[in-house]
Chain A
């Protein structure tokens, strides 16, 4: 699985780069959730955060900074990504359904205009 990695050894991107990139994506997503007003865009920001997580998993699975059963550890990280993607797809299905239901009810979906409740 890892056999072709040494051939391009000088071109391998170090783990830190992946981690910094994914942390950056995660932060951009989290900030986006806070500042955007359209629920669809907010949800896109959440997807960005999930993709940041996926990148982290894959980077760790590739670079394996741990001991023990290395092959099994790499597989675990990759499998986790598949599950995260599946769950994200399920969330999209439900989330867009809820946004559609709101749109039918009030013809606009701005989060700040939703203040039906309050103490």
Chain B
């Protein structure tokens, strides 16, 4: 046996994950000692920890890429930006969770540590080239999410969604693992970077491996045909958990998928057509099935499937163009996350006295009861549709540009068509918020709490700021590489 040597550890690179994990422990200990008090202290500690992590991450943004712990952890711009997205969506979710969970009478303090750990799992997943780490990160992310989905213990649909998510999630991770096993069999390592340039052995093993891993990661990304769980789980889980699930889980899985796929470059002729088919199917199912839905959270579930399709198109285009930082995919991820968290925050206002209806009718009268929430909903829907002043427009523009540049013309056209089709249901949500309530019992939303207001304001601000500074942000993501798509964004962004 070779002499085991302790590798030098660069603590700075793993600091964000450590802070998140420890903050989770502190929050859980506080909840243990003051079980029946209000959760304000836990929320405070959680937000402080998240702020510290974000501060730490922003400090690392300019630093050079590298790896530590024998390559188990890598630091690059894509990883750092994704970690920031994860921290940001957790922050926003935590902000509006407390008022929402109080109204729903499920104010359990355990939610906060679970959210922190789940996000930390996502951060591990986003910053590794090692399949063992990616698998462990995925499981830390998922197992905490299974618990969170079943948080509303007295509600049948919440428990049902937790069970569905759990069983299908475990099923999908078995596929991912089988893929990892095949990768190990082919290369003798779990390191993605150990993939040889010219593979002489059995290519079959690698092909099976990438297909199996695509099933596992596609499930987390909510890509068709692995999307069946999405509408049910999104509808059944508490709204704050759905907000977290729709963004954090997608961000982490996207980056893991990007890392896995781009290291399988030698067999790209196999996975590229597969991915094109998956993208088309996701966009079609996501934008067409939602048209007949009656529940807002279900509609947003289908929206999440369609957006996963857009992200795959962005990945394919960036990959084809040889962009190492996957600018358009990551930029769209940022924009999508803000709009989605905001939309769920806005509809969380419907919950009152332990009851929560999320059908279109339940949003009626929102404009009268809480103009801020209704107005915010308009902004987020505009961003998701891609109406010019909102950030979503620039995200879609960038994807469209790169797709055309990479000569994925058909995909670009399908993307545009799917965007138009999905505009109908986004507009329906917008419309519902402005309809006068004519039901027998007027739905009176609870008075808005500070947390919800703050979360909505931050999301609106984010949607505007990312629109104005679209060029600059995408330049940060791409690591200051002069690119035609970005220069176009720069000129449009300043109009």
Residues of A within 8 A of B (CB): 26, 29-30, 33, 39, 42-43, 46, 49-50, 52-53, 56-57, 60, 64-73, 76-77, 79-80, 83-84, 87, 90-91, 94-95, 97-99, 101-102, 105-106, 111, 114, 116-117, 119
Contact = CB atoms under 8 A, between A and B. Distances in A.
Interface stretch (B291-299, B336-344, B481-489): B291-299
A111 B399 CA distance: 40
Nearest to B297: A117
B184 A101 contact: no
Nearest to B191: A76
Contacts of B163: 39, 98-99, 102, 111, 114
11 contacts: A26-B178, A43-B170, A46-B174, A50-B177, A53-B174, A56-B182, A66-B187, A83-B136, A97-B147, A98-B159, A101-B159
Contact of A56 (B162, B167, B178, B294): B178
Contacts of B387: none
A101 B174 contact: no
Nearest to B208: A23
Most-contacted residue by chain A among B232, B289, B294 (CB, 10 A):
B232
Nearest to A61: B184
Nearest to A33: B171
Nearest to B295: A119
Contacts of B177: 50, 53, 84
A53 B156 contact: no
Interface of B: 1-2, 132, 135-136, 139, 143, 146-147, 150, 153-154, 156-157, 159-164, 166-167, 170-171, 174, 177-178, 180-182, 184-190, 201, 231-232, 235-236, 289, 292-295, 298
A90 B166 contact: no
A116 B143 contact: no
Contact of B170 (A56, A91, A119): A91
Contact of A101 (B135, B150, B295): B150
A88 B160 CA distance: 21
Given A26-B178, A67-B188, A98-B163, A105 B170 contact: no
A114 B167 CA distance: 14
Q: Lowest 4 CB-CB distances: which A-B pairs, in order?
A: A66-B188, A49-B174, A73-B188, A56-B181
A98 B178 contact: no
Given A46-B174, A56-B178, A117 B160 contact: yes
Nearest to A51: B174
Contact of A102 (B159, B185, B186): B159
A50 B1 CA distance: 29
B184 A76 contact: yes
Contacts of A26: 174, 178
Contacts of B162: 98, 101
Contact of A98 (B166, B182, B295): B166
B48 to A, nearest CB: 28
Nearest to B142: A91
B185 A46 contact: no
Contacts of A70: 188
A102 B162 CA distance: 10
